[in-house]
Structure 1
Amino acid sequence: MRRLVFLDLDDTLFQSHRKCPSDGELRPTAYLADGRAHSFMTARQCSLWQLLDDQSTLIPTTARDHDALRRVDLPFQSWRIIDYGGVILNPDGEPDSDWMARMEAQSHDSLDELNALLDRMLSFAAHERLAIHARFITDFGVHFYLVAKYRDERASDLDRLQDALVVPWAAERSQTYRLHRNGNNLAILPRWLGKEWAVRHLIAHLGRDWGELLTIGIGDSLIDGAFMAECDYAITPRGSQLFEATLSRVLI
Structure 2
Amino acid sequence: MIFASDLDQTLIYSERSKGNVPAEEMEPVELYEGRHISFMTKRAIEKLQQLVTLTQFIPVTTRTPEQYHRVFGITDTFRPLYAIVSNGGTILENGQPDQEWNSIVRQAVKTHCAEQAEIFSLFDAIAAPHWVKSSRLCDELFYSIVVEREQLPIDAIEELKKQIAPLGWSYSLQGRKIYLVPEKVSKGAAIQYVKEKLQSGYVFAAGDSLLDESLLLAADYAIAPAHGELGRLKDANPHISFTKLTGASASEELLDIIIEQAGKRIAAGIV
Query: What CA RMSD, in Å, does the superposition of the two structures yield over aligned residues?
Result: 2.4
Residue type of the alignment partner of 2:159: P
How far apart, CA to CA, are the structure 1 residues paired with 2:172 and 2:132? 19
How far apart, CA to CA, are the structure 1 residues paired with 2:158 and 2:206? 28
How far apart, CA to CA, are the structure 1 residues paired with 2:209 and 2:131? 26
How far apart, CA to CA, are the structure 1 residues paired with 2:219 and 2:132? 39
Which residue among 96, 99, 123 is the counterpart of 2:98? Answer: 96
Task: Determine the structure 1 residue equivalent to 2:218.
Answer: 230
Identify the structure with bigger relative contact order (alpha carbons < 8 Å, sequence gap 6+): 2
Task: Determine the structure 2 residue equivalent to 1:183.
Answer: 175
Change (3 A) 1:179 1:121: closer
How far apart, CA to CA, are the structure 2 residues paired with 1:105 and 1:173? 19
**1:218 Cα deviation after fit:** 1.1
Task: Determine the structure 2 residue equivalent to 1:125.
Answer: 127
Q: Deviations over 1:190-243 (max 9, x none)?
A: 111110111112212221xxxx52211111113312212212211222433323
How far apart, CA to CA, are the structure 1 residues paired with 2:126 and 2:7? 32
**1:103 Cα deviation after fit:** 2.3
**1:180 Cα deviation after fit:** 1.0
How far apart, CA to CA, are the structure 1 residues paired with 2:132 and 2:213? 31
How far apart, CA to CA, are the structure 2 residues paired with 1:37 and 1:84? 23
How far apart, CA to CA, are the structure 2 residues paired with 1:234 and 1:201? 18
Task: Determine the structure 2 residue equivalent to 1:219.
Answer: 207
Task: Determine the structure 1 residue equivalent to 2:7.
Answer: 9
Task: Determine the structure 2 residue equivalent to 1:61.
Answer: 60
Q: How many residues align?
A: 230
**1:59 Cα deviation after fit:** 0.6
Tell me the TM-score normalized by structure 2.
0.76
Task: Determine the structure 1 residue equivalent to 2:35.
Answer: 36
Change (3 A) 1:231 1:130: closer
Contact 1:122 1:134 in 2 (8 A): no
How far apart, CA to CA, are the structure 1 residues paired with 2:232 and 2:131? 30
Residue type of the alignment partner of 2:63: R
How far apart, CA to CA, are the structure 2 residues paired with 1:47 and 1:240? 23
How far apart, CA to CA, are the structure 1 residues paired with 2:160 and 2:226? 33
Contact 2:114 2:169 in 1 (8 A): no
**1:94 Cα deviation after fit:** 1.8
Give the gaps of 5 or more residues in structure 2: 235-240, 245-271
Task: Determine the structure 1 residue equivalent to 2:184.
Answer: 192
How far apart, CA to CA, are the structure 2 residues paired with 1:105 and 1:229? 23
Change (3 A) 1:223 1:129: closer
Contact 1:199 1:230 in 2 (8 A): yes
Which residue among 160, 165, 169 is the counterpart of 1:169? Answer: 160
Percent pairwise identity: 24
How far apart, CA to CA, are the structure 1 residues paired with 2:96 and 2:63? 16
Task: Determine the structure 1 residue equivalent to 2:237.
Answer: none
Contact 1:90 1:96 in 2 (8 A): yes
Change (3 A) 1:241 1:121: closer
Task: Determine the structure 2 residue equivalent to 1:137.
Answer: 138
Task: Determine the structure 2 residue equivalent to 1:85.
Answer: 88
How far apart, CA to CA, are the structure 2 residues paired with 1:110 and 1:232? 28
How far apart, CA to CA, are the structure 2 residues paired with 1:214 and 1:112? 34
How far apart, CA to CA, are the structure 2 residues paired with 1:14 and 1:170? 29
Contact 2:87 2:211 in 1 (8 A): no
